[in-house]
Amino acid sequence: MNTIVLQAADWLSLFVHYASLSLLCVGGAITTAPDMHRFLVQEKAWLTDPQFSASIAIAQAAPGPNVLFTALMGWNVGLNAGGLWTAALGMVLCLGGIMLPSSVLVYLTAQWSHRNRDLRAVRAFKQGMAPLVVALLVATGWILATANGYAWANWPAWAVTLVTTLVVWRTRVHLLWLLGAGAVLGWFGWI
């Protein structure tokens, strides 16, 4: 573990940086990860490259919202700066910063649009966006499935994705059985 020293002003700038990214992360917090890398690893050297990558990998392997990768980054910065207490502080600052501005905005918008749900413009927005909502979900699935490129050697993983798609679409099998099956196939190196 490398040791760094953070002053009060540094903790504040950590919070402010994440809070400023909050309103920029349209399409998920992960889209601002490159800027977090620039700030934490390159500019401030508060986090090493492997720590940065591990924070994202672990949060994606764990259940729950992917935004928790920001909590792990804050946790690791805090660990580098001292011990468990600073780690907890870093976690709260990063997660709080990335969520607070956008959450307040979303809450106000949700309340407003629910009160005005019969307004022609609100209904037009929701109806007009519906095809894109559906398409974005399918596109996300496609991007995840082809994350390792289009090489033909990936066909077993594509087959698993295709079978999962059909099973979930057409049946009511519990999703955890499917994830478990995927984990077993991967554990034995079959995909």
Partner 1 sequence: MSSPSEALAAPLTARPKSLTDLFVSFTLLALQGFGGVLAVVQRELVENKRWMTKEEFIEEWAVAQIMPGPNVINLSITLGARYFGLRGALVALAGMLTFPLLVVLALALVYAQFAANPQVAGALHGMGAVAAGLITATGLKLSSALKRNVMGLALCVALGVAAFVTIAWLKLPLAWVLVVLGGIGCVTAYRKLAP
- For residues 114-143, which are near partner 1 according to CB under 8 A? 114, 117-118, 120-121, 123-143
Q: Cα(51)–Cα(8) distance, rounded to whole angstroms?
A: 23
Binding window for partner 1 (CB under 8 A); candidates: 7-15, 36-44, 153-161? 153-161
Dihedral angle computed from the Cα positions of residues 174, 180, 183 and 185, in that order, rounded to the nearest 10 degrees: -90
Alpha-carbon distance values, 51 to 40, 97, 137, 151 (Å): 11, 20, 30, 29
Binding window for partner 1 (CB under 8 A); candidates: 2-10, 12-20, 36-44, 69-77? 69-77
CB 19 within 8 A of CB 29: no
- Applying CB under 8 A, the site for partner 1 has a residue count of 96
Under rule CB under 8 A, which residues in 74-103 are in contact with partner 1? 75-76, 91, 95, 98-99, 101-103
Binding window for partner 1 (CB under 8 A); candidates: 2-10, 12-20, 35-43, 171-179? 171-179
Contacts of 126 (CB under 8 A, 6+ apart): none
Kindly tell me which of 7 and 39 has the beta carbon lying closer to partner 1: 39
Under rule CB under 8 A, which residues in 19-38 are in contact with partner 1? 22-29, 31
Q: Cα(136)–Cα(27) distance, rounded to whole angstroms?
A: 10
Q: Is 182 in the site for partner 1 (CB under 8 A)?
A: yes
